[in-house]
Amino acid sequence: MAQLTYREAVAAGIAQEMERDETVAFIGEDVARAGGVFKATVGLFDKFGPKRVIDTPISEQAILGAAMGAAMTGMRPIAEIMFSDFLAVCWDFVANEMSKSRYMSDGQLKCPLVVRTGNGGGSRFGAQHSQSIENWAMAIPGIKVVAPSTPADVKGLLAASIRDEDPVIFFEHKSLYAIKGEVPEGEHVDTLGTAKVVRPGKDATIVALALMVPRAIQAADKLMTDHGIDVEVVDIRTLVPLDMKTISSSVAKTGRLFTVEENPRLCGWGAEIVSIVVDELFWDLDGPAVRITTPHIPLPAADNLEDITIPSVDRIYSKILDVLR
């Protein structure tokens, strides 16, 4: 096992796949010589050169369109959209093009590509550089949606995304880039569509994603220490495909469901999970299923305001305590 940061795991995942497969190439703004604005792709340019690691103009439509055209005709491109907020600029390619070409062509076309993007808040960047938009992506049939919370998952799920035959939107959380964790040595490929129980428990289930996973674990630990409440935490890891088996078996065991979501409340991914659970596991529930989310507001820049907007350890802890008491 090697200790890598989350950002190093990004570069490691890309490097592993580029070494293995000549058709993998990587494009984006300031990703090559500068190693990315989040320094997540440092070293790739030196290793693979300007043919395969390319600095592009600020042309998001061209970036995704080109990635798509290359993917349709035999490559496996990785395209970076620096901040996930900017995906709105080129959303046509996500919402109308790469997600639909396989279907519209009745399987003649395919788009095996990965769109990597920096998602999420916590950096005091304000309303246009901090959003969690995984729920926008989840709403579109035809794309897969991945959002890892640990360095090992970054590497393994990124590799799996690159190998996948469908277009994948890969959300890296900006506030996790600096965290460190064990990553398996040698080739590491994970499986899309698999959630993980990251903290076992018996009294309630928290389902969380990305930055909300470490927060949920901390809240769960505190609930155990302070009140002996034993909460299980499930890291969803990929929203599409969604591993309902893991979520459902946890809820069936604990009888209580909480989702912790960074996306603003309306139509957040948790709403989908809650609705499935209410539909399929209603008689297993011992109480209401509760969503803990960012409120339905744009994100403020000021640190004190941002901190009370995105679900915090304290908020998760108090909410669960309130509901369970």
Partner 1 sequence: MAKKKTLKNDDIDEKKRLELYNSQYLIRVAEQRAYDLFLENLVKGTSHLSLGQEAIAAGFATAMQENDKSFCTYRGHAHTLARGASVVGVLGELMQRDCGLMRGKGGSMHLTDTSKGVMGSYAIIGAHLPMAVGSAWRAQYMGHDDVATVFFGDGTTNIGAFHEALNYAVVYKLPVVFVCENNNYMEYTPIESITAVKNPAADRASAYGLDSIIIDGNDADEVYRTAQAAYSKARSGEGPSLIECKTYRQSGHSRADPGAYRPDGELDHWKKNNDPITRYRSRLIEFGVKKKIIDDIEENVKRLVDEATEEAKSSPVPPEDILTTNVYANGGWAWRN
Q: x/- site string to partner 1, residues 127 to 156, per CB under 8 A?
A: xxx---------------------------
Distance (Å, whole) CA 91 – CA 117: 13
User: Interface with ligand TPP includes 82 (CB under 6 A)?
Assistant: yes
DSSP assignments along 86-153, one per residue: GGGGGHHIIIIIITTHHHHTTTS-----EEEEEE---SS--TTS----HHHHHTSTT-EEE---SHHH
Which residues are designated catalytic? Answer: 129
What length is written for the chain? 325
Q: Which residue is nearest to ligand TPP (CB)?
A: 86
User: Interface with ligand TPP includes 24 (CB under 6 A)?
Assistant: no
Site for partner 1 in 79-118 (CB under 8 A): 85-86, 88-89
What single letter denotes the amino acid at residue 42?
V
Task: Choose from partner 1, ligand TPP, none: what does 276 bind? Cβ within 5-8 Å by kind.
Answer: none
Give yes or no for a cis peptide into 241 (omega within 30° of 0): yes
Closer residue to ligand TPP, CB minimum distance, 28 or 148? 28
User: Interface with partner 1 includes 56 (CB under 8 A)?
Assistant: yes
**Choices 71-79, 81-89, 258-266, 267-275 (CB under 6 A): range interacting with ligand TPP:** 81-89
When binding is defined by CB under 6 A, the residue of 20, 22, 49, 58 that contacts ligand TPP is 58
User: Interface with ligand TPP includes 29 (CB under 6 A)?
Assistant: yes
Distance (Å, whole) CA 323 – CA 325: 6
* The token pair that represents 79 in the structure block: 């395209």
At residue 9, the 3 state secondary structure works out as helix
Residues that bind ligand TPP (CB under 6 A): 29, 58, 60, 82, 86, 89
